[in-house]
Structures are given as C-alpha cells and as structure tokens.
C-alpha cells in the first residue's frame, strides 16, 4: 500500500506529465503552422512519450493501492518567436519536470518507499535523456541559424524520429 503523501504527489506528477503532452501538442501545432513538419513530428513523438509517462504513473499508483485523481490541465502557450525559442522553452520545461521527479525521489527516500524509488529511477534516467536531446537541438539551431539550408536539414533530421513505447522494468 502506498502512503497518502506519495499518492498525492504521484497524482500531481500525472497532471504534470499530461500538461507536458498538452504543451508539446501546442508546440506541434505551432510547427505545423510555420511549415516545419519535421519539428512537428518530433513534438508529436514527445506528446506520445509524455502520455505514456502519465500512464506509467497512473498504472503504478493503481497497482500500489492508491487512488488516481485527475486535475484540470493548464492552458499551454501557443506562440513562440522561433524554433530556437520553442526548444529553449522545452528545455526549461524538462528541467522543471526533472525537479519534480527528484522531489518524488526525495519523498520516497524519506518514507523508505523502495518500490517507488525503483520505479522513479527509470524516470531519473529518462530526464537525463530528455534534457540532453533538447540541448543538442538548441546547439544545432544556434550553429546553423534559423533560416535556410541548416534549418531545412534539422527539420529533415527531426522528421525521422519515431515513438517507441517505454519499458520501465
């Protein structure tokens, strides 16, 4: 049985993961509106990843005897200045999610909830990957600029990304 405190915090994390999907869906719409289909594809994969993260937390909470509660989802931004602006916002958002995961890990450690700590370790590793992906794209955009052939090449590269459902155990 999971503690009430851990249940409440995981419910908040489910909300944060669904908001992440909603944010990335908004970013996908932005990229489609500026005719960057590869960037839009990259964000579509992010949407799927974030929803799968929410589902992992949802199923875990249920498995541990907790009660899942869904909350209202905040409206995400819908406009950005450029692809670089989008990815800087993405990176900042992923840093926030990393802090939330770290907070969950701290609570699990305080409560000696080793099962939750084990589950969260996958998310700790995932956040390292998420932030690294964002940094690489930011660096690429800064290197090539945001117009012309360089942007076209990055758009093509991002169009190749596909969703692979996560395996957490």
CATH number at residue 62: 1.20.1260.10
Residue 150 lies in a domain: yes
Q: Does some domain include residue 169?
A: no
Determine, yes or no, domain membership for 165: no
DSSP-derived 3-state class of residue 69:
coil
Alpha carbons 135 and 87: distance in angstroms, whole number: 8
- Name the domain count of the chain: 1
Residue 113 lies in a domain: yes
User: Does residue 167 fall inside a structural domain?
Assistant: no
pLDDT tens digit sequence for 101-133? 999 999 999 999 999 999 999 999 999 999 999
Count Cβ neighbours within 10 Å for each residue of 44-81 and write b for 16 or more, e otherwise: bbbbbbbbbbbebbbebbeebebeeeeeeeeebeeebe
User: Virtual CA dihedral for 74, 80, 85, 87, nearest 10 degrees?
Assistant: 50
Query: Which of 58, 56, 30, 54 has its CA nearest to residue 44?
Result: 30
pLDDT of residue 129: 95
Q: Does residue 168 lie in a domain region?
A: no
For residue 124, the enclosing domain spans 4-158
pLDDT at 146 over 80: no
pLDDT per residue over 63-110, tens digit each?
A: 999 999 999 999 999 999 999 999 999 999 999 999 999 999 999 999
- Full-prediction pTM beyond 0.75? yes
Decide if 42 contacts 161 (C-beta within 8 A): yes
Distance (Å, rounded) from C-alpha 134 to C-alpha 130? 6
């Amino acid at each position: 049985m999971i503690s009430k405190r851990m249940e409440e915090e995981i419910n908040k994390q489910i909300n944060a993961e669904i908001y992440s999907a909603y944010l990335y869906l908004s970013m996908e719409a932005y990229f489609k509106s500026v005719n960057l289909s590869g960037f839009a594809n990259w964000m579509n994969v992010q949407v799927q990843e974030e929803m799968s993260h929410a589902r992992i937390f949802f199923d875990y909470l249920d498995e541990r005897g907790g009660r899942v509660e869904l909350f209202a989802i905040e409206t995400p931004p819908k406009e950005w200045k450029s692809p670089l602006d989008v990815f800087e916002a993405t990176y900042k958002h992923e840093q926030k999610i990393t802090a939330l995961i770290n907070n969950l890990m701290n609570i699990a450690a305080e409560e000696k909830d080793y099962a939750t700590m084990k589950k969260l370790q996958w998310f700790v590793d995932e956040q390292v990957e998420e932030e690294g992906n964002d940094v690489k794209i930011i660096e690429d955009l800064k290197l090539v600029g945001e117009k012309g052939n360089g942007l076209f090449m990055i758009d093509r590269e991002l169009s190749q990304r596909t969703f692979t459902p996560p395996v957490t155990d």
